[in-house]
Structure 1
């Protein structure tokens, strides 16, 4: 029996129904991804499943006793306190009691502690206290750290813990990779692969989608269709469906045109007119009026500037940091005309700082940056600070002009914005009413209207739907100038860039040929760092002595040398087994098994991944010695 069923569900917010006659079921152990254009209703469908919205018509049925938990797309502004507090809040009133007890315990307030303890015992809540602690440990979270002081990636991990503490049968995730760095995305993938419940998620990250989804649910013009199998299978079958739909619509339109011509014939034809045929024509007109056309694709073109000099940017011996934290240390690189360079690194590693140094917006502590001749820079800012909130979309792009000029061709500003899927009404509306995806499209429209030969893009993929992402990829591949791209979207990097600059920590900037996957193959484990001895407790000064020599590195014993020799083969064996099991899970027949078998397979895959991680860690440890 399905965990959850939507039966003939309708939902609208004015105008055509956003969701129309939706039938959908979710089985135990499934990982279902919802796809569709920006504004198609993906988040609305998820909120209906979560019970946050009620359908206009139809029914949402949840299996008795099943628990649904949702991780919000944005970090809540009112989430404060320790990590324990925020995670426990997922349990409602009892969670608040547990948090109060722990605060009283820490403060030594025996009266408050006794009061909270009595209420917890009355509600049989100590099992839930252990569950909170287990989830925090499982997700490697600092229980007593202040939530407000965490990085964006860690905050999202805490919110995931808050959803998981309810032990959901169905976990809902809306764009969980937004604002995460590549390492955090990889961690989340691994964690969700081992999650025993069902997963319903929305993402624009195709690598994440391919790694997790066992079924695709598409929303298109209000209708929801389900596609078993992986994402690539969905793409093939969707193209076949759209082709068949176009052919059927063309046949219908030809027949309607013939009938319209017949009804307009002269007196003689009217006298012999068949009333049944007239009624059929009226029905055809009504059917044509109800048809919802597929929304068009974005049509993008970059205004090209003149050719820059062959050497675009040269960075010589640059060092920069903030106090003891070094972002760049004696770093040099040369960027040539036509290069398409990806810049990657963890959140906070200095990617945006590196961009500002390369563009001359920030003076480094040491070293110099030399620009080539004839540079025309267009800059996509991930924070969208170039957009004026007080203006409409049209005013942000046209800046008072009626026309924009793209590569010698004049376009009316409204027509240009329609290429980016803005209706005239939407183009004239204040941008405060635009969604995140619309704002990103608007920033692209503004950016591409500026003639450039150096395109700098800082996280351009956030909130864009997959179709727009793929069109942006094609445009960047054809761009004749130079591209600097900061992104955490692994597929986007692989498909666009020809080389990567990697902020590797401690001031190192690595240069690699190819995209993200090529970097993974080429990178080496970082050199082992000697552990600094702990600082001594303050005591009375002692007479000066000669500094002790650093301890010599211990050589590998026979067993350790033998272990090091065997580890590469074991790693290769584990990777092959993980790949085989992952491929098997992508087979639609895999999810026709009973729930226990699916859960067991997921747990075994997680165990193998843990063993592989441990093997890599051990190999690096032995190699460093």
Structure 2
């Protein structure tokens, strides 16, 4: 192993009234490709700033080889003192060479003469990338580099980093980006850091091993994990296993949707049964929209049914927002018709998540200062609901302004998902979310009983959530594909003419391995496999019944013993349901081979 070019030994930092982390050892080799993983609030961004030398530690020693150039790409660069994006890129004592910056800007498609004050999030992000890359770093520290970028820009950045001869550490919620690029992982978890010589592709298997070892050690010591750690650990591991079953259901829904579509290559989703026709939420017929002489949408035909999950993808400027506004009735087409079902109740979660009042508490945002919140018509205690969105109970009275960006995003999701609706519109929902929250969001979308429209550049997220992808190429044509981002990309590659050398080599999808022989179930396994779904339904009904009884505000004072009994019953039923779900998923994997 090559000697580190940068290292921190016994790193410690005080934040607030205690240590954010202490005793961390971090080293960076000359060609390391490190993924930095951790929950929102764990201190990932702070750790990057410490490594970059932007802030000082309270403990520890930083060593760096002479002449090593460390560049930090911040998540939110400060452009307030610059007139143009070019002034920002070329400003300061450590400014890059102008010709190098202009060459990268040209490849990224960013106009450096643009006024900084009116630049969009995507333009500001591109300018920050231009400045960082043009500075010729030896160690590049990237904090959410794909935020606000479209897919074409992400592809370009992946290609550039693939050729990069230095080392980099990257924080990102983009699983595809991390999987393609990283070869080592730093996991910041509960104040400690672990390093594994595996890329992000092996991260989940590694964390499962760590959690399993912790559980064994806790049992050996005859001690339980702390309550907050226990529900988090159980939630993380259980969620991943449940999501395996949800992915299976998603693939089944895609097959069903593909069967409803017309001949290959057409954009008309037809419905095959009268029952399906009665569930049409959005009916689009021969819709076209232009701005000036430029066609944005041309002759689109589309039928969106209840429980469809529609992903909208394309480069910035291709018309994603226009299409979204057409589908939701915010924008009228130039020709054709868009008909929405009469009973549509929609909620829209867009990118403006920072606008929640910072002086309000979490309790006030969720429950108007009370203890109970109505979630899709069912009352839940605010503490239990917060846990569902990965909040520790102690944060219930914290002010919104003290939360991290990711925590504010999670709080907004919790508030909006509680509202009654049957059409959910998500505009770039993955920005500022950590990986565990993304898992949670995928789960909530999967369980949502209405229709979902998603605009996103997060390829893995789309592959895990949507049943239909609407792909825009900027020409006005909308590709309608049953499946996720990879299905749309495969269709584009198949339709594109073959080009000569000089383009990035795209890794082909390997043929699926032959299925392993199916395992024969024992009598008990077979019985569990057949009976558990019914048991899960029964538990669901019991939980719903008892939660309705608990929703009576007078129950606590009128009959405390019954309140306590019902609370315990709901807790036990949820635990039994979770165990039953995990057991059935394990058996389903055995059956499916």
Give TM-score scaled by structure 1 length. 0.68
Distance 2:86 2:232 in 1: 45
State the Cα distance separating 1:60 from its structure 2 match: 1.0
In the other structure, the counterpart of 2:296 is 327
Specify the SS of the correspondent of 2:10.
strand
List alignment gaps of at least 5 residues for structure 2. 243-275, 511-593
Structure 2 residue 33 is matched with structure 1 residue 31? yes
Structure 2 residue 211 is matched with structure 1 residue 209? no
Structure 2 residue 418 is matched with structure 1 residue 449? yes
Structure 2 residue 143 is matched with structure 1 residue 174? yes
- Could you report, residue by residue, the CA deviation over 1:14-69 in whole angstroms, capped at 9, with x for unpaired residues? 34421221111101011111000000010111000111111111111111111111
Alignment partner for residue 218 of structure 2, among 220, 240, 249? 249
| Distance change in 2, residues 1:165/1:345 (3 Å) | closer
| Distance change in 2, residues 1:391/1:142 (3 Å) | closer
In the other structure, the counterpart of 2:14 is 12
Q: Which one has a bigger Cα radius of gyration?
A: 1
Alignment partner for residue 383 of structure 1, among 318, 328, 352? 352
Structure 2 residue 346 is matched with structure 1 residue 364? no
List alignment gaps of at least 5 residues for structure 1. 99-127, 258-287, 302-306, 528-563, 581-625
In the other structure, the counterpart of 2:54 is 52
| Distance change in 2, residues 1:35/1:360 (3 Å) | same
Specify the SS of the correspondent of 2:353.
coil
| Distance change in 2, residues 1:506/1:570 (3 Å) | closer
- Could you report, residue by residue, the CA deviation over 1:57-87 in whole angstroms, capped at 9, with x for unpaired residues? 1111111111111111114232534554333
Distance 2:230 2:302 in 1: 50
Q: Which has the higher contact order (CA 8 A, sep 6+)?
A: 1
| Distance change in 2, residues 1:292/1:473 (3 Å) | closer
Of residues 356-365 and 46-55 in structure 1, the stretch that sits farther from structure 2 once superposed is 356-365
Specify the SS of the correspondent of 1:354.
helix
Distance 1:43 1:572 in 2: 34
Distance 1:44 1:570 in 2: 42
Structure 2 residue 409 is matched with structure 1 residue 440? yes
In the other structure, the counterpart of 2:88 is 86
Q: Could you tell me whether the CA contact under 8 Å between 1:308 and 1:337 is conserved in 2? A: no
Alignment partner for residue 519 of structure 1, among 483, 488, 493? 488
Structure 2 residue 418 is matched with structure 1 residue 416? no
Distance 2:195 2:277 in 1: 49
Q: Could you tell me whether the CA contact under 8 Å between 1:313 and 1:335 is conserved in 2? A: yes
In the other structure, the counterpart of 1:120 is none
In the other structure, the counterpart of 2:316 is 347
State the Cα distance separating 1:194 from its structure 2 match: 1.0
| Distance change in 2, residues 1:181/1:73 (3 Å) | same
Alignment partner for residue 71 of structure 2, among 69, 72, 82? 69
- Could you report, residue by residue, the CA deviation over 1:562-602 in whole angstroms, capped at 9, with x for unpaired residues? xx9xx6798999656x999xxxxxxxxxxxxxxxxxxxxxx
| Distance change in 2, residues 1:487/1:84 (3 Å) | closer
Specify the SS of the correspondent of 2:91.
helix
Q: Could you tell me whether the CA contact under 8 Å between 1:308 and 1:372 is conserved in 2? A: no
Distance 1:187 1:237 in 2: 30
User: RMSD of the TM alignment (CA)?
Assistant: 3.5
Q: Could you tell me whether the CA contact under 8 Å between 2:389 and 2:440 is conserved in 1? A: no
Distance 1:137 1:372 in 2: 45
Distance 2:98 2:373 in 1: 61
State the Cα distance separating 1:486 from its structure 2 match: 1.3
Distance 2:435 2:82 in 1: 34
Alignment partner for residue 461 of structure 2, among 462, 485, 492? 492
State the Cα distance separating 1:431 from its structure 2 match: 2.0
- Could you report, residue by residue, the CA deviation over 1:308-330 in whole angstroms, capped at 9, with x for unpaired residues? 94111112233334434443233
| Distance change in 2, residues 1:401/1:354 (3 Å) | farther
Distance 2:70 2:8 in 1: 14
